[in-house]
């Protein structure tokens, strides 16, 4: 594979293997390409390796066997370069309780090299987009669950990443807010050319948002393609049917 | 909104430097914002030690030819910097790890040594501010500093050693009990038996020998030499050993952060 091919993918992983300290095998030779500019869904049951992959991309899981490139940057050898291009909204809500909602965003921007003024302006912009302006001075523990979830996504976007990784972003979020988030993610993807990697257990969410979808199980790629490809391959009426068939 | 392109090497260094100062400012702001928890108790403890040992016993004691309050103040300054630099670095990192928000800095482009420096900044500020406050309170009773540069150097090395040790402890601890164990069972006893309240020459064996293996004893000796002019140990050797220990602990902490020891799966 040449450099040009690597850079055409937002995320390219080759032969990823991960064995945790307790012997659990997180990934088994996973290889996957996520094209730049795509909205990509990663689906699989609990323990299939979705969060392990995300942890490796973002630097939260120790370097595995295999290779990861983010827009052509080796995520291990050029970790700092790669991390600058990735924004991660993790599955669990962990927010610095010593900071206000606005500060959570400004500090994140500064951790990614933004100046104080620029980070402040960007924080105000995102607070408005995510309807959190009125809560800018509140500590995260004073926010509702939905607000915290929105704040996590806003935080992932502060430094304007080229690849946005959303690990079950709508888990525990009510339907109205989920649809609002969908609309925002669609706008982000369409107008701002951000590649989005989404993991979710809501099949209709993946069907609604994703241009391409991958099924993984036991740390291995089962199938990858458009929703139509996968439905044609596994049968059934929709992505849910195809997923159920694939996981049998 | 334009997305971020990969920066060049020079730009990356600017990004990383800004990131380090952002985390350092967060750490220092936490110390100042929570001053009733981070600064006041240690200053009050030092003042109580001075009042009880210096005020009550002092008039009856004369150690190494100087007033007892003046004798114990340098050790109390070392004890304050030791405890506070350690407590701040370890607590802040432990909380970030335990509550999960350390992910925010672990996913950032900061280099491991920059993470360490940033976390240590809070501990150093806390240790040195508490020591400064204690000195200001005690100064009218204990008198001035004989060699300010030597005193400051010894306290700087004290802060560096125990700030870095605090970071390692914060990484290691999985529970608050483990975190408190190191502070209560290792740091506090080492500080108390480090010659803060007595001169090791007056001790019987094996206590004298045990005191000599306590690293804090040498830091107290160097600080006391700088503050009072009284020299019990070789100050040059003490400073060299302290600098080597500080470099070793710093290097170990960087290595552990680089590996993501107990921070990454």
Whether residue B6 lies inside any domain: the answer is: no
* Residue in A192, A146, A204 with CA at minimum distance from that of residue A172: A146
Q: Which chain B residue has its CA at the smallest distance from A103's CA?
A: B26
Q: Is A184 on the interface with B (CB under 8 A)?
A: no
Q: Does position A6 have pLDDT exceeding 70, yes or no? A: no
**Residue B60 pLDDT exceeds 50:** yes
Q: Look at residue A2 in the predicted model and tell me its pLDDT.
A: 53
* Mean of pLDDT values over A142-146: 90
Give residue B3's pLDDT. 57
Q: Is the pLDDT of residue A122 over 90?
A: yes
Domain that holds residue B140: 15-259
Among A72-76, A178-182, B60-64, B161-165, top mean pLDDT goes to B161-165
CA distance A110 to chain B (A): 5
pLDDT at B9 over 80: no
Lowest-confidence region among A87-91, A203-207, B1-5, B186-190: B1-5
Instruction: Determine whether the interchain pair B259/A62 forms a contact, defined as Cβ–Cβ distance below 8 Å.
Output: yes
Query: For domain A3-85+161-247, which architecture applies?
Result: 3-Layer(aba) Sandwich (3.40)
Tell me the average pLDDT of chain B.
Answer: 91
Contact B4 A107 (CB under 8 A): no
Does B14 score more than 80 pLDDT? Answer: yes
- Structural domain contains residue B170: yes
Query: What average pLDDT score do residues B180-187 get?
Result: 89
Please check whether residue B3 lies inside any domain of the structure. Answer: no
Lowest mean pLDDT among A63-77, A125-139, A203-217: A63-77
Q: Binning pLDDT at 50, 70 and 90, where does residue B191 land? A: confident
Query: With an 8 Å Cβ cutoff, are A60 and B106 in contact?
Result: yes
Where in chain A is CATH 3.40.50.300? 3-85+161-247
The answer, yes or no, to whether residue B2 has pLDDT greater than 80, is: no
Residue B247 has pLDDT above 50, yes or no: yes
Read off the tokens for B196: 């803060």
Backbone conformation region of residue A38, classed left if phi is above 0, alpha if psi is from -120 to 50, else beta: beta
User: Mean pLDDT in chain A?
Assistant: 92
In this complex, is the C-beta atom of A77 within 8 Å of any C-beta atom belonging to chain B?
no
- Domain for residue B10, yes or no? no
Tell me whether strands B62-63 and B66-67 are parallel, antiparallel or unpaired.
antiparallel
* More reliable by pLDDT, B245 or B203: B245
> Has residue B77 been placed in a domain?
yes
Of B122 and B185, more confident: B122
Angle among Cα A126, A58, A42 to the nearest 5 degrees reads: 85
For position A65, what pLDDT does the model report?
A: 87
What is the maximum span of chain A, computed from C-alpha positions, in angstroms?
Answer: 53
Q: How many domains does chain B have?
A: 1
- What's residue B7's pLDDT? 63
Cα A188 to Cα A164, A177, B2: the distances in Å are: 10, 16, 11
pLDDT at residue A161 in the model: 95
Task: Output the pLDDT for position A172.
Answer: 75
Contact A113 B109 (CB under 8 A): yes
List, in order, residues 6 or more apart from B34 with CB less than 8 Å away: none
Please indicate whether residue B209 or residue B228 has the higher confidence score (pLDDT): B228
- pLDDT surpasses 50 at B1: no
pTM score, two decimals? Answer: 0.91
Q: Which residues of A touch B3 (CB under 8 A)?
A: 85, 160-162, 192-194
Which of chain A's residues have a Cβ under 8 Å away from the Cβ of B260?
A: 62
pLDDT class of A176 with cuts at 50, 70, 90: confident
Question: What share of chain A has pLDDT > 70, as a percent?
Answer: 97
Contact between A66 and A174 (Cβ < 8 Å) = no
B73 vs B2: which has the higher pLDDT? B73
A46 has pLDDT over 60: yes
Q: Across the interface, do A112 and B101 touch by the CB < 8 Å criterion?
A: no
Distance CA B166, CA B253 (A): 9
Closest-CA residue of A relative to B31 is A98
Domain assignment of residue B202, yes or no: yes
Residues of B in contact with A161 (CB under 8 A): 3-4
Residues contacting residue B27 through CB under 8 Å, at least 6 positions apart: B88, B92, B118, B119, B121, B122, B123, B125
Name every residue whose Cβ is closer than 8 Å to that of residue A92 and which is 6 or more positions away in sequence: B100
- Taking the Cβ of residue B23 and every Cβ of chain A, the question of whether any pair is shorter than 8 Å is answered with yes
Token pair 């590996």 is at which residue? B259
């Amino acid at each position: 594979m040449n450099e040009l091919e690597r850079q055409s993918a937002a995320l390219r992983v080759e032969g990823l293997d991960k064995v945790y300290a307790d012997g659990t095998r997180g990934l088994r030779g996973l290889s996957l390409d996520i094209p730049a500019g795509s909205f990509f869904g990663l689906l699989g049951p609990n323990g299939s390796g979705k969060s392990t992959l995300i942890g490796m991309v973002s630097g939260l899981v120790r370097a595995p066997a295999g290779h990861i490139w983010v827009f052509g940057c080796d995520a291990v050898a050029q970790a700092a370069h790669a991390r600058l291009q990735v924004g991660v909204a993790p599955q669990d809500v962990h927010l610095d309780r010593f900071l206000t909602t606005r500060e959570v965003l400004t500090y994140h921007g500064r951790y990614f090299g933004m100046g104080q003024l620029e980070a402040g302006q960007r924080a105000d912009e995102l607070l408005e987009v995510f309807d959190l302006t009125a809560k800018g001075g509140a500590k995260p523990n004073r926010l509702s669950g939905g607000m915290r979830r929105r704040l996590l996504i806003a935080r992932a976007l502060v430094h304007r990443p080229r690849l946005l990784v959303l690990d079950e972003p709508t888990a525990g979020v009510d339907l109205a807010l989920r649809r609002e988030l969908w609309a925002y993610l669609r706008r982000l993807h369409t107008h701002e050319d951000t590649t989005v990697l989404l993991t979710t257990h809501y099949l209709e969410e993946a069907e609604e948002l994703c241009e391409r979808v991958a099924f993984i199980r036991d740390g291995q790629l089962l199938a990858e393609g458009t929703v139509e490809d996968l439905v044609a391959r596994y049968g059934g009426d929709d992505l849910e049917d195809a997923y159920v068939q694939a996981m049998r | 909104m334009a997305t971020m392109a990969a920066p060049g090497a020079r730009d990356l260094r600017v990004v990383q430097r800004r990131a380090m100062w952002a985390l350092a400012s967060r750490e220092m702001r936490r110390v100042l914002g929570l001053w009733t928890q981070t600064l006041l108790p240690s200053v009050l403890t030092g003042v109580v030690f001075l009042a009880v040992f210096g005020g009550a016993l002092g008039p009856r004691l004369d150690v190494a030819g100087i007033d007892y309050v003046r004798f114990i103040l340098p050790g109390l300054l070392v004890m304050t910097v030791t405890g506070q630099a350690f407590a701040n670095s370890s607590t802040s990192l432990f909380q970030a790890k335990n509550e999960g928000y350390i992910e925010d800095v672990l996913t950032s482009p900061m280099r491991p040594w920059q993470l360490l420096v940033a976390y240590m900044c809070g501990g150093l500020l806390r240790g040195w501010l508490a020591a400064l406050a204690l000195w200001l309170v005690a100064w009218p009773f204990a008198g001035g500093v004989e060699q300010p540069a030597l005193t400051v150097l010894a306290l700087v090395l004290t802060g560096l050693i125990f700030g870095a040790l605090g970071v390692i402890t914060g990484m290691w601890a999985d529970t608050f009990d483990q975190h408190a164990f190191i502070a209560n069972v290792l740091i506090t006893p080492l500080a108390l038996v480090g010659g803060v309240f007595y001169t090791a020459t007056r001790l019987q064996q094996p206590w004298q020998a045990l005191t000599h293996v306590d690293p804090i004893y040498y830091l107290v000796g160097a600080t006391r030499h700088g503050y009072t002019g009284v020299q019990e140990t070789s100050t040059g050797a003490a400073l060299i050993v302290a600098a080597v220990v500080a470099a070793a602990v710093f290097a170990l902490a960087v290595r552990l952060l680089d590996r993501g020891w107990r921070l990454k799966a």
